[in-house]
Chains A and B, each alone.
Chain A
Amino acid sequence: MSDSHQTITYLDHGATSWPKPPGVQEALALAVSELGGSPGRGHYGLAMRTTRAVHSVRRGVARFLGVAADRQVLFQPGCTQALNLVLFGLLEEGDRVVATSVEHNAVARPLNVLGARGVEVDVLDTDSQGLLDIDDLEQALKRPAKVVVCQHAGNLSGAIQPIKEAARIAHDAGALLVVDGAQAGGHLEVDCSELGVDAWACSGHKGLLGPTGIAVLYLSKGCQPRELVVGGTGSASSELPTQPTELPERYEAGTPNTPGILGLGAAVDWLVENAVNHRERERLLTRRLHEGLLELGFRVIGPPVDAPRVPIVAATYAGLDAGRMAAALDREFGVAVRSGLHCAPWAHRTFGTLETGALRFGLGYGNDADDVDCALAACASLLGDLT
């Protein structure tokens, strides 16, 4: 094994959060020790206690996301699956979809497949910070489109998109707004009702601080994609040969992921109590890191240091391979960061880094100023060795 050294400084929260806040580990354990019944599939005490626990988490997540009708919050196996459900379920041959040029592969790849199936895919270039230009969207929607799909925050740039304005413009043009919220949930205050989004998907394990294998999908009443998966729901087996139409069952065929859901619930409970301080801490650390990288001579992708961003700072250094730098940071300093294309070739093409990739620092729960300073000192040391 060549990776036996210890990670001291974890700065890859853009990929997944680690460690998890108090309560998550305990909830996972509870799910396999005491709440091991099958949710929605049985009336005996163990099953009902498990069913109620899942129901309670749905209510909590709905409140956290500003959703009044908690049945419109769906549990999915991942944000990618959730976005696949919405995009493949809404779009068919002859439809038109408008996307931005900074979408993650969770959106880009489904759109590429849909494009090959006869869906017209129009990709709008963002500005140099990675932000959707609302005027460009308005212009693009002078021709009818069924769906506008946009990230909430950039997984490369950290830029926060004007979602509320995009929803208004999309609706004025008769389109639905589908939002990839993977990098926004937990890091930003999200009120789906206030934003006016039609679909909003988010990983449970990134900024929401839950375990992997669980995601949240909000669907407005007007957004009813075809099901991607059909099957058992624990209900209506005697009456319906096909999938129930009621939410959440319609989109939750198969046995729910109880550990994932309960772990997510514990994480959201923690966020409800701590989000204000947590987000302020993230903001300060992100600025410290951003400024430090600029001082070292890095080019930072995305918005300038004074502009809002989620706690992601991706950077390049002229003439330096990001992959080698990431490996050296890990090997020599125990600093975990992500190089490569971050599953976002569209975004890297937009920022001119498709051929080089970038070094991405993702901050989050558990990080402190020492982590940032350690990473910056490590970068300085590596750069010093080169000169």
Chain B
Amino acid sequence: MTSRQLRPFVVFGFSTTHDALDAESLLEDMGIDVVPIPAPAELGKLCGIGLRVEPDQADRAGIYLQRAEIVVVGRVNIEDF
């Protein structure tokens, strides 16, 4: 059995599913690895979709989202599998 370790990620939060899907589509088009996950409690939300990205891609992702005028309601660092 492979041992798993927690490692750092950045999660972007959105106020609507629609925004999260727009963001997912945009970031994938820009070559950023995106994984939709339940919005983490650190975002102050317990409902909705967060987009998890690798830490070294997070700043670039933030810029793309800003340019596309997709509203990000929060950005948090988490540890995940």
List, in ascending order, chain B residues with CB within 8 A of A234's CB: 17, 47-48
- Assess whether A112 is interfacial by the CB under 8 Å rule: no
Chain A min CB distance to B66 (Å): 17
Whole-angstrom CA separation of A238 from B24 in the bound complex: 23
**DSSP class of A's interface residues: helix, strand, loop or mixed?**
loop
Whole-angstrom CA separation of A216 from B15 in the bound complex: 23
User: Which parts of A216-239 form the interface with B (CB within 8 Å)?
Assistant: 233-239
Chain B min CB distance to A37 (Å): 12
With most chain A CB atoms within 10 A of its CB, the pick from B19, B44, B47 is B47
Known contacts A43-B49, A55-B21: A235-B36 contact under CB 8 Å? no
Q: CB-defined interface of B25-69 with A at 8 Å, one 1/0 digit per residue? A: 100000000001110000011111100000000000000000000
List, in ascending order, chain B residues with CB within 8 A of A236's CB: 15-16, 45, 47-48
Chain B min CB distance to A217 (Å): 15
List, in ascending order, chain A residues with CB within 8 A of B46's CB: 237-238
Interface size on A, residues (CB 8 A): 21
Whole-angstrom CA separation of A248 from B16 in the bound complex: 9
Whole-angstrom CA separation of A57 from B47 in the bound complex: 23
- Assess whether A246 is interfacial by the CB under 8 Å rule: yes
List, in ascending order, chain A residues with CB within 8 A of B37's CB: 43
List, in ascending order, chain A residues with CB within 8 A of B21's CB: 51-52, 55
Whole-angstrom CA separation of A233 from B15 in the bound complex: 11
Whole-angstrom CA separation of A248 from B45 in the bound complex: 19
Chain B min CB distance to A76 (Å): 16
- Assess whether A249 is interfacial by the CB under 8 Å rule: yes
Chain B min CB distance to A52 (Å): 6
List, in ascending order, chain A residues with CB within 8 A of B19's CB: 246
Whole-angstrom CA separation of A277 from B42 in the bound complex: 54
Q: Are A43 and B47 in contact, CB atoms less than 8 angstroms apart?
A: no
- Assess whether A71 is interfacial by the CB under 8 Å rule: yes
Whole-angstrom CA separation of A58 from B37 in the bound complex: 22
Q: CB-defined interface of A41-74 with B at 8 Å, one 1/0 digit per residue? A: 0010000100110010010000000000001000
List, in ascending order, chain A residues with CB within 8 A of B49's CB: 43
List, in ascending order, chain B residues with CB within 8 A of A244's CB: 15-16
Whole-angstrom CA separation of A288 from B38 in the bound complex: 58
- Residue of A39, A48, A237, A246 near B16 (CB, 8 A) is A246
User: Which parts of A273-300 form the interface with B (CB within 8 Å)?
Assistant: none
Q: Could you list 6 examples of A-B contacts with CB < 8 Å?
A: A48-B36, A58-B18, A71-B18, A234-B17, A235-B47, A238-B47
Using a CB–CB cutoff of 8 Å, the interface residues on chain A facing chain B are 39-40, 43, 48, 51-52, 55, 58, 71, 233-239, 244, 246-249
Sorted from nearest, which 9 A-B pairs have the closest CB atoms?
A237-B47, A40-B17, A238-B46, A235-B48, A55-B21, A246-B16, A43-B38, A249-B16, A71-B18
